[in-house]
Structure 1
């Protein structure tokens, strides 16, 4: 398929700038693939939709303070540095994006805070991409604390109000434990402690996988021929416990629910030829767009996404392109809230 087939107009008024006070009170657009029909519910209604021994697979990645602001040596120019991933732990080498990029060249030094942290640019990777080395002699814990102090929650730029203190909590999943993401697994932000407890009581199970979200699912697709688009690689890990839960659910003919695109990518990166889940760890650049097939998940929970984005394409692949385009038009007609702080969609 072509990039232009995923274009639609998304007025800014639909982009949620803050989450609801009670996250499980978000709206839930339920999409029935086979019957090609939709229902309008609330996220907490998953309690009525799913049964005992159904399995929700969630991502336990944790977002860190990836957006930092430094000053260029000599000129003092303000530079945004967005940490993407650590390339070499011992050398403190990082893959980053810088803005404005035209001012940053190999050999430049950047100063953060009151010279709490200094970095040197060692390579150009893309038009905005750089490899930098932090010049820091302290322990790993001390380095992490400095980054946390100097950085801010990396909420997306489509949230135009600026970062609030509350974003540190709002932009973190209930299941967050393994640090490494620069974007939140938005679909599971709707799962509150209260809702999880009620799901536990009903006998709905949870399995955890790890996929550290980079900018892969959010970076703009620039080629019309989607087969030529290259996703950024993201680290994932699926352990034996999660495999056992998923495969037992499949064998007992209960439902496996992928909560978010990052979970779907992790599952599809470690599927066996028998349609079961394998233990796996590594880097995935899996790009799920029509007419790609899916092998593990019986249901998919996702938010409402931007036009021409890999996440919108994944929703189209899991259903059918024309029908999903109609679903999105219905969502706007019904004033659903889009993107990471918005409402959710359940595809059955």
Structure 2
């Protein structure tokens, strides 16, 4: 629910700067707003033909729900082969209500080219699922829907990190894949009893590698100096800029954008964690900070909302927002969460059995008493 609400709030202002957002809306966005171009959303570029706004979720939520459906079929941990065997058929063969298109369509017809890559590489190209992400543009496409991996591995960040890296290997490589692992770990860490926004970021840093770790660390160092997102917007952007390959013009990425690198990071995850610190873990403050940051703010708010939701549960999500998003998007936001919770309990029980079997075998192997 937290991820979906963040996604819907960020969608209509995606791609713009904080200054442009404030000018368009007469100040900062404080809740659900309409399309950037009003009633001309069907034809106005570069948004057309998507109805972003009015509480509509975007492909971030569509992909999150698709991954949940995979978990409900497999009812165990996932790997890259689960993407090929279950996620790809779901995207290309089962029509669903697409809020931004205001019609039923195949999810494949809505998702971005980086997600269409999964179908091209796995269904048509028959590539090894574990390596299919190599060659795709490196962006937040895999990370944006990894919250379910964190919840299935609730309270076990290292396990969430490892599983997300495996799943995301079918979709992304380099720092895009790394971000998927770190985001899942952050969600899992948020489920730990007594977790705080600081402990979540610490857990992420303990697992993150290369440019992703450096970017999260740099953003976190700046974020802890702020308690209001208004003052944090420019400093957080400056902190992540050296690691972000897209460059200052979000709609015209630099030549080095989205290429593999050990020195760089996607922008969305560090900023989401930074806003979590600025907002002291409060859902409303965290998500509004992510939304008003602009740029890829639907994905930033998706991640920020997922982690804040995992920290505090459904009660943290403003009921008005969740109601508006559910009704506007024609989605039951409780059903996927309930289904995933059932799977998480089953997987935990199975993990416990597997662990006991391992302990027994190891005791026999070593002669332990």
TM-score, with length taken from structure 1: 0.31
Question: Greater helix share, 1 or 2?
Answer: 2
TM-score, with length taken from structure 2: 0.30
**Larger Cα-atom Rg:** 1
